[in-house]
Structure formats: structure tokens, C-alpha cells
Chains A and B, each alone.
Chain A
């Protein structure tokens, strides 16, 4: 089966389940716009399926030679980095992640010389980030001495409020007069 046919079938399955989930939402008025988008997506996915069946395409060789092992290693290193960041803070975890990536993914040419060089680069890079963070007063996950991150209901409410404010901006909620 061709790649596009598989993609469109997967998409159609996802679209149908999303459409069904609309029925579980509280306010039918609030889902009018998402409903229209999901219907249009359904039509587009069906057209993609039709196109892939009617117009014969050559199967690409995109899957050939894909370094799956390397990809998985990188993926899991990023996941571990996220967990570490919450525990030991941003700068230390960034430094360890930098070293882990350059050592593990570049293990083929790892010598004392390259190892020292990579460690120095990791140190310099983290140092620059530290200075930049101080200069911009940008918040980062706190370090170990600051203790674990505590999120109570008030924090979460404040967070939701802030995001809602940003969405207000994004939507450009300004009073615009009708055209006619």
C-alpha cells in the first residue's frame, strides 16, 4: 500500500475520533469552529486517499537507510534530559545533556583529546547561557538547592489566567466595526 494511502487512512481515523470527542464537550456553541475545521480536514484526507489511489505514484525510498538506533538514542536522551531538568535544574542538566549527546552520538571518534574538547565546549556553552539568562532575567527551572518545583492550585490558576491573557492578545480581541 502506498505511503499517502496509509497517511490518509491514519488521518481519517484520527479525524473521526476527534469528531466523536466533540460530542463529549460541554458547550455545543464553543465547538462550532473546531467542528467546521474537522469536517474540512475529513474532506481533505478523503481527497488525499482518492488522489493516492487514482494517481499512481512511485514509492519513495525515504525509509531506506534510516538510522533508527541513533534516532532512538537521541529521543531517549532528550526525555531523560527533561526529567533531569526538573530534578537538578536547567544549567547542570544542560551541561550533562551536551556532554551525553557529544560523547554517545560521537562515540566513534572519541579520544582523550576530543573528549576534553567536547567537555570544554559544553562548559563554555552552558556558561554563555547562564550569562544570557542573567542578562535577560529569563526564568529557568531552579537548581537543586532551590528544592523541587511546587505547583499548587493557585499557581495553576495564575498560569491558566496568564495564558488566557496571551490568547486574548493572540486573537486580537479588539473592537472592530463591521465592514458594512
Chain B
């Protein structure tokens, strides 16, 4: 906490504050735009930060991450389409409120409860991150190898409908990460063409896997008519809404606590947090029947939960390089291109950058609420942007971002090839998140595997080195539990579907 307070003023410098405000405004607009996922928005921004000071670049990414989660509620409330999976629970009561002519009130509830939840989540992050990072100091190559696999197994289980497809995606990502020269031995692998000589860098992979499938998905939806935004300006409701919102202590507490707990669990994400918080708020309500008909408590619980998740979802990311959500996985890519490696090193050798980033996340929550309230009056305009413009703009930005990092046209080819493959993969139920995580964690897994093997060969043997020791066993059990839980979920869903068919 002392370090956090020590570095806090750095986040208030003119450049950092301006970057933060621009990031929040951009994030709110991108989050509100139907068809643009927050993950893709952050992925497109990663290369732009490459040319910035690391702290400023990370502030931009953090601000966009925070704001897109809240911004996604705008389209959920106004046109019944969640801007992000985290906002699914918001539309259950948010959209009925808009249909009753209370769209502005619903948006105010959304931003105020997002602020409360977000700040509680940030406090938890600030308290828990440094101790967990110190624990990571005790990890050697074998533990780091298993941690990398744990991250992939968690993401595989939660990002797509099938654990087998998720794991296949993660393994495909690991395999892509081995293209190019071996990090320790220097021999070429899978270099079938000159384009692959340098391997697949993180930025082209991030942009290709998230942006290109989105472009093609937008092409598919051309011509489809979206619901018209239900927006009617209301006068003089701001202060009344703030007062009413702060009186909803029960919903705010449920949302913030559920969001914070779910956020710490790697891979669970805002969608789960929002839905569980909504369900619990309904169960604890004196009028559960009013949920789903435009009860503000539903909006408050869902939105406080999905923003409370933002801070804690970065705890496993900053300490163990396990992202709490697909967007956090992209953020991990942003850290790595600046040469920042998650773990104790981040808090010891890069303390200034790290704590400035954490401080900016707290400020981003406040800025998100302030600018969200200001922009909510004009938010319906974002819904009117035609998909045609998005297709062109996202493609150009994807090319621009990819090329600019390494000044390489080869990267653009790699980006487009991976993106097209992912689009086809998505049609068959594969998700980009495990692939991205595999590419990001691949070098960590391989490097630690090779180091561990070298140590093991001179010591206790490979099996004993990787499969014994309390930490190894705990992480292996976590991997098994994460996969087992997903398999159990799939079997249960299959049985339910079978019973429903009978």
C-alpha cells in the first residue's frame, strides 16, 4: 500500500492523465459500439502503445479495458445487445427500463454502480497483488512450466463451449509460439517460408485472432436491421439517481463481493460475475418477481459485479501471468511488448511503471463514471454507426497496428492468415482466447521446460523434478480440477439437453 501511495502522483502527470481520459472516452465509445468487442479494441490498441513510454502505454490499455466493460452496458440497455459478454446480465433489467422511458436513469445507475464496484475491486487488487507476487518468487522452472499450462487449461475451459476444442486451441497457440528459432538452442523450427523466419510475434497474433474474425463477422451481418435505440432524455434525474443508487446497499454489496471473488478466479470473467451477482441479488430481494421487468437493483448488481471483477482479474495476471479474462490476456501481450514480465520482477525492478499503472486504474474507474454520465446523453449516436465503416476502419487499423510495431509487411501477412484461420475455426466452435494465451505463454512454458530438463538431467530426473514437490502437485491438481470442472459441466449440459429432447 505504501508503494502504491508513493507512486500515485505519477499517474497524475499531464501526459498520463490526458492519456487516461482519452482512453476512457475511447473505451466507452468502443464498448458501446455493437459489433466491436472490448478484447478486440484493446488488441487493436496494443501496437499504438509500443511507441509510448511503458507507463503511459499501459495506462491507455488499462483505461480502455476499464471503460469498455462499462461502455458495453450502453448497447445492452439501449438496443438489447450486450457490448461485451460481461454485460449480459445488465440487459435483463436495463433494457426494460429503457423501454419504459428510463434509459438515462438506467445508464446513470450503470455508471455509478460500476464506479462503486470498480473501486472495491481495485482495493482488493492493491492489497492482494504484492503478497501473491512474493509467493511467485519461490517458483522455479517446473512450477512456472505448470503455471503456464494452468493458464491455458483455465482459458480453454471457459472461453469456448467444448473443453477439447479449448485445449486444442491452447495447444495450437503453443505450437505457433515454437515457430522460428529455438530460444535456447538457436535451431530453426517450422520455418516453411521466409515470412516465418522470425517466428510469430505477439502483436500480429493478437490483432489477427481478434480483429480479422470480427471484420468477417461484421460482413456477415451487413444489411441486418438492429433495434432502434430506446433513448429519451430525462431532466434532473442525476442527483436523485445517485442518492437512490447509494441506498441500494444490498445490491451494491452483492455485486461488488461476487465480482471481486469471481475476478480472482482465473478465466471466470465478467459474464459469470454479472450473472451470479444478478441471481443472488434476485434471491435476496424482497420483490424477486420484479427482476426482469426493469428493476434498477438488477442493473446495479450486474454492473457493480462486472466492474468489481476488473481489478481482481489482474491479480493472477500481474503475479503469475494467468489472465482472468480474454481481455486481460491481451493486456498481458501489452506488458510483454514493453519487456515487462509478470511476477515479482514487475514489483521490484519495474515498480514505478507497475504502481503507476495500478494507480491509473483507480483513476480510470472515476473517469469512467464521470465521462460515462456526460456521454450517456449522446451514447445513442454510437449505435447508428453503419457496419460498413467499421469493416473498413477495423481492417485499416489492424494493418496499421501490425505493420508499425516491427516495420514488417511479413507481420501483416501473418496477421491476416491467422485471422482468416480463426474465422474458419470460430465457425467450428473454436475460440481465439486459448490460442492467444498459448502464443503468449508458449515461450514461458518452453523456456522453463528446457531449463527444468537441464536441471533435472543433472539432479533427480525429469519425472521427479516436474511431478514431485508440493507446489508442483498443487498446480497440477489445479490443472486437473480446472479441466475436470469443464468436463463435468459439459456432461451435465449434454444430459440436460438429452432429457429435454425426451
Residues of A participating in the B interface, judged by any CB pair closer than 8 Å = 3-4, 7, 11, 18, 21, 25-27, 29-34, 37-38, 40-41, 44-45, 47-48, 51, 55, 62-63, 66-67, 70-71, 74-75, 78, 81-82, 85-86, 90, 94, 97-98, 101-102, 105-106, 108, 118, 121-122, 125, 129, 132-133, 136-141, 149, 156, 159-160, 162-164, 166-174, 176-180
Contacts and interface: CB of A to CB of B under 8 A. Distances in A.
A108 B139 contact: no
Given A48-B164, A159-B408, A170-B440, 5 more contacts: A37-B171, A44-B167, A70-B222, A85-B399, A105-B391
A47 B141 contact: no
B4 interface: no
Contacts of A136: 48, 51-52, 404
Contacts of B164: 44, 47-48, 51
Given A25-B188, A173-B183, A163 B395 contact: no
Contacts of A38: 175
B139 A140 contact: no
Given A81-B395, A82-B416, A138-B51, A178 B140 contact: yes
A151 B322 CA distance: 39
B165 to A, nearest CB: 7
Nearest to A73: B219
Given A94-B400, A163-B180, A173-B447, A41 B219 contact: no
A51 to B, nearest CB: 6
Interface of B: 47-48, 51-52, 138-144, 162, 164-165, 167-168, 171-172, 174-175, 178, 180-183, 185-190, 194, 197-199, 201-202, 215-216, 219-220, 222-223, 336-337, 339, 341, 343, 345, 386, 388-389, 391-393, 395-397, 399-400, 403-404, 406-409, 412-413, 416, 420, 427-429, 440, 443-451, 453, 455, 469, 471, 494
B23 to A, nearest CB: 14
Contacts of A166: 201, 337, 406
Contacts of B336: 169-170
Contacts of B450: 32-33
20 contacts: A21-B190, A27-B182, A27-B187, A30-B186, A34-B175, A67-B222, A71-B220, A90-B399, A105-B391, A160-B198, A163-B198, A163-B199, A164-B198, A166-B337, A170-B440, A171-B443, A172-B447, A174-B341, A179-B138, A180-B140
A105 to B, nearest CB: 6
A174 B140 CA distance: 11
B409 A97 contact: no
B414 to A, nearest CB: 11
Contacts, number: 219
Contacts of A47: 164
Q: Quick one: which of B162, B198, B345 has the most chain A CB within 10 A? A: B198
A140 B440 CA distance: 25
Contacts of A106: 222, 386, 388
B386 to A, nearest CB: 7
A48 B139 contact: no
A55 B412 CA distance: 40
B406 to A, nearest CB: 7
Contact of B469 (A121, A132, A179): A179
Given A30-B187, A47-B164, A102-B388, A176 B451 contact: yes
A105 B222 contact: yes
A169 B198 CA distance: 14
- Among B186, B428, B429, B494, max chain A CB count under 10 A is at B428
A48 B420 contact: no
Given A40-B171, A94-B396, A176 B144 contact: yes
Contact of A138 (B48, B140, B455): B48
A41 B172 contact: yes
